[in-house]
Amino acid sequence: MNNTWRNKCRLLIARTIKENEGKPLPEIRKALKAVYPFGDRRWWPYKVWCDEIRFQLGLKKNNPKPINPKQIGLFDD
Protein backbone atom coordinates (compact mmCIF):
# COMPACT_ATOMS: atom_id res chain seq x y z
CA MET A 1 0.00 0.00 0.00
CA ASN A 2 1.43 3.36 -0.95
CA ASN A 3 1.72 6.20 1.50
CA THR A 4 -0.92 8.70 0.36
CA TRP A 5 -2.96 10.90 2.70
CA ARG A 6 -6.06 8.83 1.92
CA ASN A 7 -4.33 5.57 2.75
CA LYS A 8 -3.02 7.03 6.00
CA CYS A 9 -6.50 7.98 7.18
CA ARG A 10 -8.67 5.24 5.64
CA LEU A 11 -8.17 2.63 8.39
CA LEU A 12 -8.44 5.17 11.21
CA ILE A 13 -11.74 6.43 9.85
CA ALA A 14 -13.08 2.91 9.34
CA ARG A 15 -12.08 1.87 12.88
CA THR A 16 -13.67 4.97 14.42
CA ILE A 17 -16.91 4.45 12.51
CA LYS A 18 -16.96 0.78 13.56
CA GLU A 19 -16.37 1.69 17.24
CA ASN A 20 -19.28 4.14 17.11
CA GLU A 21 -21.65 1.94 15.12
CA GLY A 22 -25.31 2.50 15.95
CA LYS A 23 -24.74 5.98 17.37
CA PRO A 24 -26.31 9.07 15.81
CA LEU A 25 -24.36 10.74 13.01
CA PRO A 26 -23.41 13.83 15.09
CA GLU A 27 -21.71 11.59 17.67
CA ILE A 28 -19.83 9.69 14.98
CA ARG A 29 -18.65 12.97 13.46
CA LYS A 30 -17.52 14.17 16.90
CA ALA A 31 -15.51 10.97 17.37
CA LEU A 32 -13.96 11.38 13.93
CA LYS A 33 -13.05 14.98 14.71
CA ALA A 34 -11.28 13.82 17.88
CA VAL A 35 -9.03 11.35 16.03
CA TYR A 36 -7.92 13.65 13.17
CA PRO A 37 -4.20 12.81 12.79
CA PHE A 38 -2.71 15.55 10.58
CA GLY A 39 -2.41 18.65 12.80
CA ASP A 40 -4.08 21.77 11.39
CA ARG A 41 -7.45 21.23 9.82
CA ARG A 42 -6.64 22.84 6.51
CA TRP A 43 -5.02 22.28 3.14
CA TRP A 44 -4.98 19.02 1.21
CA PRO A 45 -4.74 16.49 4.10
CA TYR A 46 -7.91 17.88 5.68
CA LYS A 47 -9.74 17.91 2.36
CA VAL A 48 -8.82 14.25 1.78
CA TRP A 49 -9.85 13.40 5.38
CA CYS A 50 -13.31 14.98 4.91
CA ASP A 51 -13.75 13.34 1.51
CA GLU A 52 -12.88 9.90 2.89
CA ILE A 53 -15.33 10.38 5.79
CA ARG A 54 -18.14 11.29 3.37
CA PHE A 55 -17.31 8.24 1.26
CA GLN A 56 -17.17 5.80 4.20
CA LEU A 57 -20.39 7.14 5.72
CA GLY A 58 -22.14 6.68 2.39
CA LEU A 59 -22.72 10.39 1.94
CA LYS A 60 -20.63 10.54 -1.23
CA LYS A 61 -20.87 8.29 -4.22
CA ASN A 62 -17.59 7.42 -5.87
CA ASN A 63 -18.90 7.78 -9.41
CA PRO A 64 -16.39 9.28 -11.81
CA LYS A 65 -17.69 11.72 -14.39
CA PRO A 66 -18.32 10.11 -17.78
CA ILE A 67 -15.70 10.65 -20.45
CA ASN A 68 -16.66 13.29 -22.96
CA PRO A 69 -16.62 11.52 -26.35
CA LYS A 70 -15.39 14.75 -28.00
CA GLN A 71 -12.21 14.55 -25.90
CA ILE A 72 -11.25 10.93 -26.66
CA GLY A 73 -9.21 11.65 -29.79
CA LEU A 74 -7.73 14.92 -28.58
CA PHE A 75 -4.17 13.65 -28.09
CA ASP A 76 -4.10 10.76 -30.55
CA ASP A 77 -1.28 10.80 -33.10
Query: Model confidence over 16-74: pLDDT tens digits?
Result: 999 999 999 899 999 999 999 888 888 888 998 998 898 888 877 666 667 677 666 65
Kindly write down the DSSP assignment for every residue of 7-38, as one continuous string: HHHHHHHHHHHHHTTTS-HHHHHHHHHHT--S
Let me know if residue 65 belongs to a domain: no
Identify the pLDDT of residue 18. Answer: 92
User: From residue 52, how far is each of 29, 38, 60, 71 by CA, in Å?
Assistant: 12, 14, 9, 29
pLDDT at 56: 87
**pTM of the complete model:** 0.69
Domain that holds residue 15: 5-56
Assess if residue 72 is contained within a domain: no
Number of domains in the chain: 1
Is residue 75 situated within a structural domain?
no
In degrees, to the nearest 5, what angle opens at C-alpha 63 toward C-alphas 61 and 65? Answer: 135
Asked if the structure places residue 64 within a domain, the reply is: no
